[in-house]
Amino acid sequence: MFEYALSVMIFLPILAGLLLLLCPVSKGAARAIGFIISVVILFIGIEIFLGFSGKSGMEYVEHHSWIPSLGVNYALGIDGISLLVLVAATFLFPMVFSVFKTKTKGFYGNLLLAQGAMIGAIAATDLILFYVFWEIMLLPIFFMIGIYGGEKRLPATLKLTIYTIAGSLLMLAALIYVGTSYHEQFGKWSFNIADLSALSLGGGFAVLAFLMFMVAFAIKIPLFPFHTWLPDGYTEAPTSATFVLSAIMAKIGVYGVIRFVIPVFEIEFTRFAVLFSLLGVAGMMYCGLAAIAQKDMKRMLAFSSASHMGIIALGVFCLNVQALAGSLFQIIAHATSTGVLFLFVGLMEERLENRDIDSLGGIAYRAPVFATFFAIAMLASVGLPGTSGFIGEFLIILGAIKFSSFIGFLAGTTLVIGVCYMLWMFQRVFFEKSKESTDSFADLTTGEILTFVPVILLIIGMGIFPQSFLEKIEPTAQQHIAQISAVSQSQVADTTVQNPGHNNHKN
């Protein structure tokens, strides 16, 4: 039955989403359908997670020919890299459907479409197929922000859409370049990532193509300085769209780098690693400092999310197993902490119609359960030991210090900024004097508590028993790093022999 599990996970939400968009369904029914579908996907996701053996290869593979003349296949598979991203994309969706009741059916339809497309992008092992899903997943977000967003939604939508489409079209050019290079070197067409990693690219075009890929993913992550669409986009988007963007879509950017850029562009990647890891640290600092200054809670979380994406990206660029495993672990930790914080802010907004930090206060006295949950997610986000965030950040910092002690030092100290803005915000919103605006704040209902309890448990569980997750990631991470260091070392040695000054200059 699980032979076609991935296809089902992709196309069930897409078909259901299209049906919701095309058929006249009532709001409640649409939400119920969405919830049921997402729960079904969740169960398949759990099954895949438990059934995943972690032997550093692709599992649940599907392979059908799509465009034979160009070697494009409908190829799906899951390995240690994509597993946790997949988990993030499946575990968190039922919450969105169960928490927010006020949206129209079009919104729920788009949400399902987004889920299907994202799972498609995560599971695709063919570059063209990946690109197709990668583009499709933007469309529902475009409509969700544009139709259901806040006051300044139009500029925000346009900025986000043009920015990301520009990035992905550049990536299209780059991936076709990779495909044609493969055709030149091996005499046949293939866009399969396993084949493409055999490619040896060099010269100016390879660097250009590498940068095009990186720009596309950097925009999605978003990596400093490609983050400017993020504050507006995250703030204006309806909360569930923000949640999707921050908890899952941003991770697909990181995932794309690990899955597609590292195996194909080993040499360019090692060459530019220092630069990109510095960008990651710069993003952490800049967005963290910006978060301190924000008055709007959602905007503050937007910057905080960007800041944390910086550390995840840093883990990818450090080129060692600890950092890579840490990044993969942090992907789901970040989704469950920062992503869930967005949902909490959405709940507050629904109840109070207000997100202004200064006008809030004393919520903890009115809603102790809500405050507790919020605190746990927030502490996980700042990386308190015993929560999921600690494990990920610890591994990344460890890897960063191994990579370069300077960058490790910078990253480690920057984490303090995160603690600053989070705790200060928490103090102002949840403690201090209770204000009139928050007097009527109702605590979580039983339904909402039941929705959030699994995530809260997951946060703590991942913090205390990280091994059950790490053991699935590490074999693939090791293999990945082994591959890249083997190729790049031999290559760097070559260039050094031929042109001694060259390597130093590049670094």
Partner 1 sequence: MHDFLSLLPLIIITAGAVLLMLLSTFEKTNVETASYISMGFYGVAFFVQLVIGCGPEVTIFDQTFNGMLVANNFSMAAGLVILGCGFFTSVSGHSYFKVNQFCTLEFYSIMMFASCGMILLTLAHELISAFIAIEIMSLAIYILVGYDRQNVKASEAILKYLMLGAFAGAFFTMGTALIFGAAGSTKFMAIAAALNMTGEISPLLLGGSFFILVALLFKVAAFPFHAWVIDVYDGAAAPVTGFMATALKTAAFALFANFLAMNNVMHSGWVTFLFYLAILTMFGGNLVAIGQDNIKRMLAASGIVHSGYLLIALVALNAEQFSGSVIAYYLAAYAVGTLGIFAALSYLSGEGERRADFADFKGLAKVHPYSAAAITVFLLSMAGIPPTAGFMGKFYIITSAFNEGQVTLAVLGVVSSILSMWYYLRLIINMYFHEATDTFEIQGTPLATAGTFALVFCVFAIALYPVVI
Closer residue to partner 1 (CB): 206 or 400: 206
In whole angstroms, the minimum distance from the beta carbon of 112 to partner 1 comes to 16
Among 19, 25, 61, 172, contact with partner 1 (rule: CB under 8 A): 172
Question: Residue 450 burial by CB count (10 A; 0-12/13-18/19+): exposed, middle or buried?
Answer: exposed
Please say whether the beta carbons of 333 and 392 come within 8 A.
yes
Phi then psi for residue 71, to 5 deg, are 65, 30
Among 36, 166, 464, 482, contact with partner 1 (rule: CB under 8 A): 166
Among 31, 103, 105, 153, contact with partner 1 (rule: CB under 8 A): 153
In whole angstroms, the minimum distance from the beta carbon of 120 to partner 1 comes to 10
Phi then psi for residue 157, to 5 deg, are -60, -45
Among 161, 246, 305, 387, contact with partner 1 (rule: CB under 8 A): 161
Binding mask 351-390 for partner 1 (x = CB under 8 A): ----------------------------------------
In whole angstroms, the minimum distance from the beta carbon of 499 to partner 1 comes to 25
Closer residue to partner 1 (CB): 143 or 421: 143
Helices (H), 187-236: 193-196, 204-220, 229-236
Closer residue to partner 1 (CB): 58 or 72: 72
Torsion (CA) 295, 99, 42, 46 in degrees, nearest 10? 70
Q: Is 19 in the site for partner 1 (CB under 8 A)?
A: no
Under 8 Å CB-to-CB from 76, ≥6 apart: which residues?
A: 6, 7, 10, 60, 61, 62, 63, 123, 124, 125, 129
Binding mask 265-304 for partner 1 (x = CB under 8 A): ----------------------------------------
Among 102, 180, 499, 507, contact with partner 1 (rule: CB under 8 A): 180
Helices (H), 245-296: 250-256, 262-264, 266-292
Closer residue to partner 1 (CB): 160 or 325: 160
In whole angstroms, the minimum distance from the beta carbon of 264 to partner 1 comes to 15
Binding mask 39-68 for partner 1 (x = CB under 8 A): ----------------------------x-
- Rounded Cα distance between 183 and 287, Å, is 42
In whole angstroms, the minimum distance from the beta carbon of 253 to partner 1 comes to 18
In whole angstroms, the minimum distance from the beta carbon of 169 to partner 1 comes to 5
Q: Is 158 in the site for partner 1 (CB under 8 A)?
A: yes
Question: Residue 225 burial by CB count (10 A; 0-12/13-18/19+): exposed, middle or buried?
Answer: exposed
3-state secondary structure of 389: helix
Closer residue to partner 1 (CB): 128 or 455: 128
* Only segment of 135-143, 272-280, 303-311, 354-362 that touches partner 1 (CB under 8 A): 135-143
Site for partner 1 in 22-41 (CB under 8 A): 22
Helices (H), 335-387: 340-352, 363-366, 368-382
* Only segment of 160-168, 401-409, 429-437, 448-456 that touches partner 1 (CB under 8 A): 160-168
Closer residue to partner 1 (CB): 62 or 393: 62
The count of chain residues that interact with partner 1, using the rule CB under 8 A, is 32
3-state secondary structure of 61: strand
Q: Is 125 in the site for partner 1 (CB under 8 A)?
A: no
DSSP string covering 421-434 = HHHHHHHHHHSSS-
437 token code pair: 């605006």
Site for partner 1 in 197-236 (CB under 8 A): 205
Phi then psi for residue 288, to 5 deg, are -65, -45
Please say whether the beta carbons of 157 and 145 come within 8 A.
yes
- Rounded Cα distance between 425 and 429, Å, is 6
Say whether the peptide bond before residue 225 is cis (omega within 30 degrees of 0): yes
Length of the chain: 507
- Rounded Cα distance between 44 and 9, Å, is 7
* Only segment of 132-140, 309-317, 326-334, 376-384 that touches partner 1 (CB under 8 A): 132-140
In whole angstroms, the minimum distance from the beta carbon of 190 to partner 1 comes to 13
Rg for the chain, CA atoms, rounded: 22
- Rounded Cα distance between 230 and 269, Å, is 25
Binding site for partner 1 (CB under 8 A): 21-22, 67, 69-70, 128, 131-132, 135-136, 139, 143, 146-147, 153-154, 157-158, 161-162, 165-166, 169-170, 172-173, 176-177, 179-180, 183, 205
